[in-house]
Amino acid sequence: MIPLLVALPLLFAFLTLLLNAFRVRDGLRRALFVLGILSPWPIFAASISQLPVSTVVGGWERISGIEVALNDYNYYFVLGELIVFSLVGLYSVGYFGAERTAGHPERDFTSPYIFSLLLLLHGGILGAFVSSDLFNFYVYMELASLSSIVLVACSREPGSRRAAYRYLMLYLLSSFFFIFAIGIIYVKTGYLNLHLIQQNLVPSQEVHMAVALMAVSLMTKAGIFPLHFWLPGAHSKADTPVSAVLSGIVVKVPLYGMILLLSYLHLEFMKNPLLVIAFSSMFFGIAMALLQDDAKKLLAYHTVSQMGFVLLGVATLDVDAAIFYAFAHALFKSGLFLGVGVLVSAQNTKSLDLLSYRGDKMVMAAIIFLSLAIGGISPFIGAFCKQQLLSNLHGFGVYLFYMAGVGTLVSFIKLNYKLLQPTKEALSLPALEKIIAAALAALTLIFGIYFYPQLDHRDIILILLAVALFFALRHVGLLRRQIPRFFEPTVRDLGREINLYTGVYVLVNLAVLFQLLY
Amino acid sequence: MIESITGGYLTSEVAGIILVLIGLYGLMTKSNLVKQVLAINVISTGVVLYFTKLGYVEGGTAPLIPSEVMVDPLPATLMLTALVIDVAITSFALALIMRMEGSP
């Protein structure tokens, strides 16, 4: 049953491409796309009752086949993926029709392929989430990320191709190191199946080195601080539905890989470097987000910061906290991208000084709800996840964690403060897209009440503190500071950027490996 | 002949790792985008060479006909998948570079 979860979206991806070649009517192609997006639901629903399940594809022995499973580790990842992708799929049916062909239908040569690419992405992500085999995980992760890189390159935004190139290069580099490390694990244990690796693993310096290499590669793919360069560009230049999927789900695939490393291989020896990286990612993301003037870039930098929170769960060796935070982040970040995206396409600007949600109550409520959710205010889902993360921290870590929480709130108060400004003309927003953003906001509330049905009074203090801090920062003028540009937007400087990023990647690898010696 | 020079230390695994390092050097120093794609390809070749050696057994034959000593086919199979991904990525990267010239 579980292999079908992956096979159906891939089949529909092929069919949409085929229908495109036969020049079939547009409506039929869209219907097929929606069918493909929704197709894994019945299989998922049928498998829930008998959790945990695992099968080896083709009925082989575990030792020679590829195992797929649906268990406690990936249940919430798959659920989050299905929820977000279904809603984003419906959103993109409207988005890629009206928006892109307006005025110039003959120039729109990418739209027909986008549906197919989104379905490939859907299948790739699901495949990575269900596989219990290292190499299979790698192949599906590659499928997912390649489709997302092509989707970024399809965007009309100036600079989207440079962003796609940056994404591609960093991605490839880390992929090769990842596969190199898989080779070391294979030599040491003789298997690629995670259960068999766990049974046959004898901890040694080589195994630790391989795990460290894998961890650094996965952190690059997840866009965690010292290796985040590709993320803000790619996530902010992509089309709105693509941004929502990228920030909501695609970055969770490597983090799921981290969770696999934590639960099947050993990651305890990397606890301290991971803690440092997680906290620095949290604060760096917030600091950069505070300085942004571009609404989508602000959200993209928050992804860097939020990935730090998920990594904190991994670093404190608490698998559940990481899983729930990843699930929560998938819901609220995709909702925020869709909500802000509705405004961006209606008002045709991304600048925070010009955008406004004053004219539309539904979008306004959705964005405020989602901002509270990402800030970790009860009873939204963020509060539950923050409680879980907080329970593993002691002493200094607790204060840092609260500071990061307040920082996130300050940044979202800035977003809402800017969006509250009055507009000159009345807004007319597409109904379906508004409802989808509101649905994600409602889901964060529903899941929050389901997981953690209580109100925390300390949250009010946090909000007041954040408001005070926001106005203080605004008064000082820190929020308007220009960020110096190190690279010009030319092809030559793009090459230099890649040189620098490769250097940083190598340095981080060396630092982590060096730490292993002591 | 080569073994007598290197004293047996230069196995294909080491050669693979050296290729990876050469590719990294290229990525860190060349700002021409096409050269960067080539450097990535050098890294991939290094990884493929490394993997192919992993499955090699001294004096082994291809595991088609049952015999005493056979090489491990799995690493080579994995590399087949990795090579297919490489080809697709290289063509995409080159197309991206072509489209980037001129447009912002």
Question: Which residue is listed with tokens 């993320």?
Answer: A231
Looking at the complex, report in whole angstroms how far the Cα of residue B104 sits from the nearest Cα belonging to chain A: 6
In degrees, rounded to 5, the angle at the alpha carbon of residue A371 between the alpha carbons of residues A365 and A375 is: 145
Looking at the complex, report in whole angstroms how far the Cα of residue A63 sits from the nearest Cα belonging to chain B: 12
Chain B residues with CB under 8 Å of A173 CB are 27, 40, 43
A169–B81 CB contact, under 8 Å: no
Which among B50, B52, B78, B99 is the top mutation candidate for probing chain A, defined by the most A β-carbons within 10 Å of its own β-carbon?
A: B78
The dihedral over CA atoms of A92, A96, A98, A99, expressed in degrees to the nearest 10, equals 110
B92–A492 CB contact, under 8 Å: no
The mean pLDDT of chain A is 85
A262-273 burial, b if ≥16 CB within 10 A, otherwise e? bebbebeebeeb
Answer left, alpha or beta for residue A452, where phi above 0 means left and psi between -120 and 50 means alpha.
beta
Rg value, chain A, Cα = 22
The answer regarding whether domain B2-57+69-100 maps to CATH 1.10.287 reads yes
Q: Give the nearest chain A residue to B51 (CA atoms).
A: A183
Chain A, residues 260-279, CB within 8 A of chain B, namely none
Residue A209, chain B, CB below 8 Å: the answer is: no
Domain ranges of chain A: 267-482
How many beta-carbon contacts under 8 Å exist across A and B? 89
Nearest to A159 among B20, B78, B104 (CB): B104
Q: How far apart are CA A434 and CA A406, in angstroms?
A: 28
The whole-number pLDDT of residue A457 equals: 80
B28–A502 CB contact, under 8 Å: yes
The whole-number pLDDT of residue B101 equals: 65
Chain A residues with CB under 8 Å of B97 CB are 165
The whole-number pLDDT of residue B25 equals: 93
Which among B19, B87, B96 is the top mutation candidate for probing chain A, defined by the most A β-carbons within 10 Å of its own β-carbon?
A: B96
The whole-number pLDDT of residue A106 equals: 43
- Report cis status (omega within 30 of 0) of the bond before A241: no
pLDDT in single tens digits along all 104 residues of chain B:
556 666 666 777 888 889 999 999 999 998 888 999 999 999 999 999 888 888 777 777 777 777 778 888 888 888 888 888 888 889 999 988 888 765 54
- Report cis status (omega within 30 of 0) of the bond before B75: no
Looking at the complex, report in whole angstroms how far the Cα of residue B28 sits from the nearest Cα belonging to chain A: 4
Nearest to A153 among B81, B96, B104 (CB): B96
Looking at the complex, report in whole angstroms how far the Cα of residue B58 sits from the nearest Cα belonging to chain A: 16
A183–B51 CB contact, under 8 Å: yes
Residue A146, chain B, CB below 8 Å: the answer is: yes
Looking at the complex, report in whole angstroms how far the Cα of residue A227 sits from the nearest Cα belonging to chain B: 15
Please compute, for residue A496, the number of CA atoms within 13 A of its CA located in the half-sphere on the CB side.
8
> What does the pLDDT average to over A287-308?
89
The whole-number pLDDT of residue A110 equals: 60
Lowest mean pLDDT of A139-148, A218-227, B65-74, name the range.
Answer: B65-74
Chain B residues with CB under 8 Å of A210 CB are none
Domain ranges of chain B: 2-57+69-100
Residue A183, chain B, CB below 8 Å: the answer is: yes
> Does pLDDT of A260 surpass 70?
yes
Q: How far apart are CA A134 and CA A179, in angstroms?
A: 9
pLDDT per residue as tens digits for the range A83-130: 999 999 888 887 776 555 554 544 455 666 888 889 999 999 999 999
> Does pLDDT of A513 surpass 70?
yes
The whole-number pLDDT of residue A97 equals: 65
Q: Which two tokens stand for residue A488?
A: 């010009």
The CA–CA distances, whole Å, from A176 to A132, B43, B46 equal 20, 7, 9
Q: Which two tokens stand for residue A491?
A: 């092809």
The whole-number pLDDT of residue B104 equals: 44
pLDDT per residue as tens digits for the range A420-448: 887 766 677 777 888 888 888 888 888 88
A176–B43 CB contact, under 8 Å: yes
A199-231 burial, b if ≥16 CB within 10 A, otherwise e? eebeeeeebbbbbbbbbbbbbbbbbbbbbbbbb
Chain B residues with CB under 8 Å of A499 CB are 27-31
Counting residues of chain A whose pLDDT is more than 70, the rounded percentage is 96
Counting residues of chain A whose pLDDT is more than 90, the rounded percentage is 16
pLDDT per residue as tens digits for the range A43-55: 888 888 877 888 8
A165–B88 CB contact, under 8 Å: no
Chain A residues with CB under 8 Å of B15 CB are none
The whole-number pLDDT of residue B1 equals: 54
> What does the pLDDT average to over A339-360?
80
Residue A180, chain B, CB below 8 Å: the answer is: yes
Higher-pLDDT residue of A110, A377: A377
Q: How far apart are CA A151 and CA A296, in angstroms?
A: 17
> Does pLDDT of A258 surpass 60?
yes
Of the candidates A286, A311, A279, A291, the one whose C-alpha atom is nearest the C-alpha of residue A301 is: A286
Residue A170, chain B, CB below 8 Å: the answer is: no
A502–B97 CB contact, under 8 Å: no
pLDDT per residue as tens digits for the range A299-343: 999 999 999 999 998 888 888 888 999 999 998 899 999 988 888
Q: Give the nearest chain B residue to A153 (CA atoms).
A: B96
